[in-house]
């Protein structure tokens, strides 16, 4: 069984499996005129300074249904993303898929609430010519077609710091070959299995232009077997992040290979929506489920290969306009639910 968030030994950095989340506005609703537009190449590949906030519209460009967006082309050469943010911004990520038994249902549920996510795929699952592998490759393409982003989770889900240089490089480059075959593009985002990193692995990934995406909100979904258990763990972690570390949002990590995780996704989204009704009454910042890693991303600039991104500096006008839109939608939704 593939365990995504294991304790890592042997000199690798330990990454806690449990950190999180927000409330969503689909970009189709936000900015219909910009759908399908692509940023100029030089912007997308900017190496200096924060990408986020340079242009108020930037976060809504090049959304969905394009292979460049879906393969994370805009996020190459980034600092290591941890998900830490003082804002109530949430990004959902799903690891270890695709799985024909669970991923299609998750895709429908994501669509139902207008949320885009990032899927870190195990390349071994989508290569080969068995009927199941071909089905998985089709599901992988469907993930991109529906506007989500896919990234590398290596070929065999091995912890990279435990491998020699040649084997670690194989895990990365073989995944690129598989993605090239399935998507006609290589991936630019990577989540090392288990979140296991080391200076050597960071350098290897850096040299190949990757941006490493970790997570700050896990839910231990690989350790349990019901959605309620996942939800409870998520809630505890989520609340602890704010209490202990002042992180009110972040990157949530679940696995789309478990049916209880697909159900837990719905519970988490509903909980965030309920919280927003309360936050609105108190006049506080609302949870905002984003569909763009730019909220947590910085281009690498001239830093070293192991540099971890500080929370991205976001344009205050952009955040304010998103919050204003959310407040209007939340007011309407919460009023409706009150009268049901």
The stretch near Zn ion (CB under 5 A) out of 1-9, 111-119, 265-273, 279-287 is 1-9
Tokens representing 57 are 């519209």
Q: Which of 96, 137, 156 is nearest to 120 (CA)?
A: 96
CB of 5 to Zn ion, least distance (A): 7
**Subset of residues 9 to 68 that bind Zn ion, contact rule: CB under 5 A:** none
Q: Which is nearer to Zn ion, 190 or 273 (CB)?
A: 190
Residues paired with residue 252 on neighbouring β-strands, in sequence order: 92, 217
Which positions from 244 to 283 touch Zn ion by CB under 5 A, shown as an x/- string? ----------------------------------------
4 touches Zn ion (CB under 5 A): yes
Q: Which is nearer to Zn ion, 114 or 259 (CB)?
A: 259
Which run of H or of E encompasses 129?
A: none
219 touches Zn ion (CB under 5 A): no
Count other C-beta atoms under 10 Å from residue 337's C-beta: 11
Residue owning tokens 């998750």: 106
Q: Radius of gyration (Cα) for the chain, nearest Å?
A: 19
Which run of H or of E encompasses 323?
A: helix 316-338
Q: Which is nearer to Zn ion, 96 or 285 (CB)?
A: 96
Which positions from 58 to 97 touch Zn ion by CB under 5 A, shown as an x/- string? -------------------------------------xx-
Q: Cα–Cα distance between 144 and 69 in angstroms, integer?
A: 8
CB of 11 to Zn ion, least distance (A): 20
Count other C-beta atoms under 10 Å from residue 222's C-beta: 21
221 touches Zn ion (CB under 5 A): no
Report yes or no: 13 and 215 within 8 Å, Cβ to Cβ: no
Q: Which residue is nearest to Zn ion (CB)?
A: 4
**Subset of residues 182 to 211 that bind Zn ion, contact rule: CB under 5 A:** 193
Q: Which is nearer to Zn ion, 193 or 250 (CB)?
A: 193
Give how many residues touch Zn ion by CB under 5 A. Answer: 4
Q: Which is nearer to Zn ion, 104 or 193 (CB)?
A: 193
CB of 273 to Zn ion, least distance (A): 28
Q: Which of 116, 114, 126, 132 is nearest to 152 (CA)?
A: 126
Residue owning tokens 């960071």: 202
Q: How far apart are the first and last CA of the chain?
A: 44
Q: Which residues bind Zn ion (CB under 5 A)?
A: 4, 95-96, 193
């Amino acid at each position: 069984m593939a365990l995504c968030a294991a304790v890592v030994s042997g000199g690798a950095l330990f990454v806690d499996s449990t950190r999180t989340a927000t409330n969503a506005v689909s970009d189709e609703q936000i900015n219909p005129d910009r759908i399908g537009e692509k940023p100029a190449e030089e912007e997308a590949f900017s190496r200096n300074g924060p990408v986020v906030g340079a242009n108020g519209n930037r976060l809504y460009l090049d959304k969905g249904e394009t292979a460049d967006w879906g393969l994370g082309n805009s996020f190459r050469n980034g600092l290591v993303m941890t998900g830490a943010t003082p804002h109530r911004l949430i990004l959902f990520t799903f690891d270890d898929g695709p799985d024909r038994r669970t991923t299609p249902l998750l895709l429908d549920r994501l669509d139902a609430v207008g949320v885009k996510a990032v899927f870190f795929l195990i390349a071994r699952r989508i290569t080969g010519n068995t009927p199941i592998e071909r089905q998985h490759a089709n599901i992988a393409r469907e993930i991109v077609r529906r506007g989500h982003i896919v990234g590398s989770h290596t070929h065999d889900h091995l912890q990279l710091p435990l491998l020699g240089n040649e084997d670690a490089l194989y895990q990365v480059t073989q995944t690129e070959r598989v993605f090239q075959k399935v998507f006609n593009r290589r991936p630019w985002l990577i989540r090392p299995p288990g979140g296991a990193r080391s200076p050597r692995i960071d350098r290897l990934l850096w040299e190949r232009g990757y941006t490493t995406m970790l997570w700050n909100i896990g839910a231990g979904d690989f350790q349990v077997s019901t959605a309620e258990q996942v939800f409870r763990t998520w809630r505890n972690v989520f609340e602890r992040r704010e209490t202990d570390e002042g992180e009110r949002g972040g990157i949530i990590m679940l696995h789309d290979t478990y049916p209880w995780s697909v159900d837990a996704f719905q519970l988490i989204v509903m909980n965030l929506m309920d919280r927003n009704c309360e936050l609105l009454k108190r006049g506080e910042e609302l949870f905002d489920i984003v569909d763009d890693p730019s909220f947590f991303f910085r281009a690498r600039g001239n830093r070293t290969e192991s540099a971890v991104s500080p929370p991205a500096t976001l344009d205050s006008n952009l955040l304010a306009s998103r919050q204003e839109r959310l407040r209007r939608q939340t007011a309407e939704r919460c009023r409706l639910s009150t009268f049901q």
